[in-house]
Amino acid sequence: MHERLAFNGDLCTTAMGIMPHEDVHDALDLALQMDIPFWPQLPKLSFYEDMYVQAMEMFPGVVIDEERTKIFIDSGRFLYDLPQYLEREDDPELYRFSKRFSRVYEEFLTLDLSSYRSVRGQVISPVSLSLKITDENGKPIVYNDEIRALIFSFIQKKVNVQYRELRSKNRGAFVWVDDPGLEFVFNAMCGYDHVKAKNELMDFFSGIEGPRGLHLCGRPDWDFLLSLNIDILSFNAYAFGDVFVTYDKVKTFLEKGNIISWGIVPTYYEEFSREDVRSLAGRLEKMWLCLEEDGVDKGVIVKNSMLAPATCNLMNADKTATVEGSFLLVNELSDYVKERYGI
């Protein structure tokens, strides 16, 4: 049974899962500084921690070549492995992250997380996964109906197993799916169109046991996104917020009690160096004023909003410094805006 959100947004902070760190404890310590902490994904530490590779652990037919940093589905091996997989399909152990695929996750679960408002996990979305992973011939598996169908079921089970484990540590836990590739289904050249994607995502989220969350940094069709049966939407408000708030469905989404996580603090050095608490608060309040003019009560906006960095970032020349600065700044911004709104 789907469980609704057990908390309000109230301008609390969280962040994206992917981090540029190569030290497990440094990354985890930083994640634990957020109001809603999470377990970090560290692709610079290991190829197995790449979010696409990580999600494919135990999937039938998967070939993971660490030496060549390549992952694909061998379609012949898929057919060979499938009967054995189906025999164990309901075994939760198939869907847990092993230590090899996440050195942080097991450690996160050993911590006392009960005092936090919530804790969060993440898994790559079946849409992005299907668009990115190919078969042995280089053809994206999104075009193989049998494999794609199993991907949706497989990731759904991974989300649910992770949710149960996190909920044992904190009753407000949730898991969001990370969907960087979703914007491509609106490209006319993509043979997997947005109509099919929407139908399959609706079915996917209908089978999620906990609060249904979706995170993305790109720019899909906002009406499409807001019409999905999700409870939490995390997006890059720094880049796209001014357009996002002009859509009528944002009002409906918030007034239903759903949460928007506003990715407002940039993580790229050039953008980050130009901003401070006051400038970012001004950006947020400009967006929120647009919603107020559309009839959304300010109290509803505040109650149903979280704050976060705008994107993940593995590219800065300063390695972890700017990302760490963005985490610090989003917490400072949260404190500043909470004071302004009497929270």
Interval 119-169: pLDDT, tens: 999 999 999 999 999 999 999 999 999 999 999 999 999 999 999 999 999
Give residue-wise pLDDT tens across range 223-249: 999 999 999 999 999 999 999 999 999
Q: 2 pLDDT exceeds 90?
A: no
At residue 45, the pLDDT reads: 95
Q: What is the mean pLDDT of residues 220-225?
A: 91
Q: 176 pLDDT exceeds 90?
A: yes
Residue 305, classed as helix, strand or coil, is strand
CATH number at 12-340:
3.20.20.210
Confidence of residue 186 (pLDDT cuts 50, 70, 90): confident
At residue 5, the pLDDT reads: 87
Mean pLDDT, rounded, of the chain: 95
Q: How is the chain split into domains, by residue range?
A: 12-340
Q: What percent of the chain has pLDDT over 90?
A: 91
Minimal CA–CA distance to 228: which of 155, 103, 127?
127
Q: 9 pLDDT exceeds 70?
A: yes
At residue 1, the pLDDT reads: 60
Question: What is the DSSP code (8-state) at residue 171?
Answer: T
Residue 193: count of CB within 10 angstroms of its CB: 12
Confidence of residue 220 (pLDDT cuts 50, 70, 90): confident
Those residues with Cβ within 8 angstroms of residue 94's Cβ, 6 or more apart along the chain or in another chain: 58, 85, 88, 157
Helix 75-87 vs helix 145-167: crossing angle, to nearest 10:
50
Confidence of residue 100 (pLDDT cuts 50, 70, 90): very high
At residue 190, the pLDDT reads: 79
Give residue-wise pLDDT tens across range 49-76: 999 999 999 999 999 999 999 999 999 9
Angle CA 131–132–138, to nearest 5: 95
Give residue-wise pLDDT tens across range 285-310: 999 999 999 999 999 999 999 999 99
Report the predicted TM-score, pTM, of the whole model to 2 decimal places.
0.96
Q: What is the mean pLDDT of residues 182-188?
A: 83
d(CA 174, CA 105): 15
At residue 184, the pLDDT reads: 85
